[in-house]
Structure 1
């Protein structure tokens, strides 16, 4: 009976640019592959580059096929991957359900992070200075990648072989339907989950004392957390200015990033540089969240925002914007606040509203990765049976 059940499972092919344990979509794909294998599915992973520890040790995983990419530059990488993945997909055995985590046309299920034109239009608002904004727009206009990606979107979203577009948030669904109206009825909304074994209120309580010491936070101080590799897009400058509107006990712990210098100078010009801690890249994220009283993600564009989900899973009340997909997880005033525009005035009001919400409680608003994987599995089985996805979740 078990053998019969296993043989009835469709083979699955996963397509991704980089196969790795690190990075948002990369880590998600890695763990989903492990999940599928644990359920007895025959899986093949096609990737542009294999950056797993196994590959680095010269012993790549048997299910992983590295197709390679042209270099240098993003344009050649994406163009070559599009054609190489198309060729690989065409040679898949009959009955294989293909799922892509990138701009690869014709896969059975396309996990979408949103159209590239939507990103270009929304993210430009991160530029405060009008001249800087015009300069950024000019650079983007003449960049080949910003012509290529919309062209790939035109071939990916309407493709007749794609039975389901998997949107990671309602924001993504809205953008896809706006740019590609013909996709309505083919979109399923499944928000990302987190590993709740790592991120949970019990871990917050366990790590709290050591975390406060580690980040040099004193009794009576309230820690606002921020974490990103892209300080500009995620609105760190607005958050720094927000400190000028908050009582002096509020401190900012700004993790990640590549260049802190201009932000330190900006904070110095506002007289709040002594209220900011820049720890750099953080390896122990649960410990980071455990040090906080509130998390703030004032991003101008984020199709989901895994840091929001992680903070909420740890029980940290969170402030974010309407342009972050994970804002769907927030109930205003209960576990966080969603602001329309990340101005210092709106951010400061939101942070002060959350003074009465204690960190470390169970908000019960984030799904575990395994529950999300189960929903992905249902999509795979429906696609294998030739069925449409379940209707998209309605707006909040």
Structure 2
């Protein structure tokens, strides 16, 4: 079989993940001649997947949370889809899709079964749930032909925790899930007039210093620590603003709404989900990602390409995305005081911000372009059929 005749299935839990993380990669796979099918749950973004000219969309509902009945039905659906379409290769991302695909692919007789780990939910858990989810990752590792991690530190974490053997997992290039579109994430796309308009829209002063958070607004992204640190920062400097870009999840909204000080609350701007987060990255002074767990932290590289450094927690994944002291600052996990100190070590220091931003941009362009990352993946797919 010619590699450019391969039938590929890319499977994720929800369309949002595919649209925001994998679109460029899927386009590249299709352009190489491979027939790509995307499998994900059906929701309000499904129409966008169905409209793609690079892939065929097959809806299979996959719950993010544990739901034995629905999970069994999803497994049966995946087995049927795999058998009917006779895919040469199935590649899953996101935890639940990974588990169901590993089982369905083995039972359906799919020849090459791959999974990319993008962070472990069980890291922040304890007790029975932690044990069950660790076991799920071990099943994924056992049943798949090969697995990938989107950072070296995540790979080492999985191996050291006995999830997978070192020879069965690898990292493509310098890491990241699929790289980033360097034409899209380019600050030169935006003018000074557009930045002024955004400041007016968000009611941010011309001299206001902007901290940015992009992603799911949920406690495991370190929102509690960020709000606590921001409270102290604003008391020292009322001309600092915190902008949230992304959807509220879990108890994230409650954490933000608990801010009692009116002067602090007025300096918090909630944008919600945006299909153009790069424009906020372009006019921010500093990205903050005090997450409890990250497989890599793609948003860090997106901001880096826009020339914006990041303050993030010193955890696996982010320790690969941020070069401490060069492209940003790593701070202590779940430590609001450390986060505050990290932010203040950079914010309001134009020369340092500029130097870090330039270093971050150069690194993003040299290591994390989506085209280069896609070429690595295409070569990886081909090696299974040579």
TM range (shorter): 0.7 to 0.9
State TM-score, norm by structure 1.
0.76
- Map residues 137-148 of structure 1 onto 2, 5 A cutoff: 141=129
User: Structure 2: which 5+ residue stretches go unaligned?
Assistant: 107-111
2:28 paired with 1:35: yes
The answer on whether the counterparts of 2:214 and 2:277 sit within 8 Å (CA) in structure 1 is: no
Question: Could you tell me which residue of structure 2 aligns to residue 129 of structure 1?
Answer: none
Q: Secondary structure at the match of 1:348?
A: helix
Deviation of residue 93 (structure 1)?
5.0
Cα distance in 1 between the residues matched to 2:311 and 2:241: 15
* CA spacing shift, 1:60–1:262, aligned 2, 3 Å: closer
Deviation of residue 224 (structure 1)?
0.6
The answer on whether the counterparts of 1:315 and 1:363 sit within 8 Å (CA) in structure 2 is: yes
Question: Could you tell me which residue of structure 2 aligns to residue 175 of structure 1?
Answer: 157
Q: 1:153 aligns with which of 137, 142, 153?
A: 137
* CA spacing shift, 1:317–1:71, aligned 2, 3 Å: closer
Deviation of residue 352 (structure 1)?
1.9
Question: Could you tell me which residue of structure 1 aligns to residue 197 of structure 2?
Answer: 210
Greater Cα offset, 217-226 or 31-40:
31-40
The answer on whether the counterparts of 1:12 and 1:99 sit within 8 Å (CA) in structure 2 is: no
Deviation of residue 349 (structure 1)?
1.5
Cα distance in 2 between the residues matched to 1:344 and 1:271: 19
Cα distance in 1 between the residues matched to 2:62 and 2:184: 37
User: Structure 1: which 5+ residue stretches go unaligned?
Assistant: 1-5, 125-136, 386-396
Deviation of residue 182 (structure 1)?
4.8
2:13 paired with 1:11: no
Question: Could you tell me which residue of structure 2 aligns to residue 252 of structure 1?
Answer: 242
Question: Could you tell me which residue of structure 2 aligns to residue 351 of structure 1?
Answer: 343
Deviation of residue 185 (structure 1)?
1.3
Cα distance in 1 between the residues matched to 2:353 and 2:86: 54
Question: Could you tell me which residue of structure 2 aligns to residue 371 of structure 1?
Answer: 372
State TM-score, norm by structure 2.
0.78
Deviation of residue 234 (structure 1)?
0.9
Deviation of residue 54 (structure 1)?
6.1
CA deviation string 1:262-294 (max 9, x = no partner): 335432259622322222233321221123111
2:47 paired with 1:53: yes
Deviation of residue 334 (structure 1)?
2.3
CA deviation string 1:109-162 (max 9, x = no partner): 222224xxx422x324xxxxxxxxxxxx68x84xxxx78655543332112xx3
Question: Could you tell me which residue of structure 2 aligns to residue 235 of structure 1?
Answer: 222
Q: Secondary structure at the match of 1:166?
A: strand
Size of the aligned set, in residue pairs, is: 352
Compute the RMSD of aligned alpha carbons: 3.4
2:178 paired with 1:188: no
The answer on whether the counterparts of 2:217 and 2:253 sit within 8 Å (CA) in structure 1 is: no
The answer on whether the counterparts of 1:239 and 1:298 sit within 8 Å (CA) in structure 2 is: yes
The answer on whether the counterparts of 2:146 and 2:168 sit within 8 Å (CA) in structure 1 is: yes
Q: Secondary structure at the match of 1:158?
A: helix
Cα distance in 2 between the residues matched to 1:252 and 1:307: 17
Cα distance in 1 between the residues matched to 2:274 and 2:3: 44
Deviation of residue 375 (structure 1)?
0.9
* CA spacing shift, 1:260–1:163, aligned 2, 3 Å: closer
The answer on whether the counterparts of 1:299 and 1:324 sit within 8 Å (CA) in structure 2 is: no
Question: Could you tell me which residue of structure 1 aligns to residue 73 of structure 2?
Answer: 80
Q: Secondary structure at the match of 2:180?
A: coil
Deviation of residue 202 (structure 1)?
1.7
Deviation of residue 13 (structure 1)?
1.9
Cα distance in 1 between the residues matched to 2:64 and 2:185: 38
2:255 paired with 1:298: no
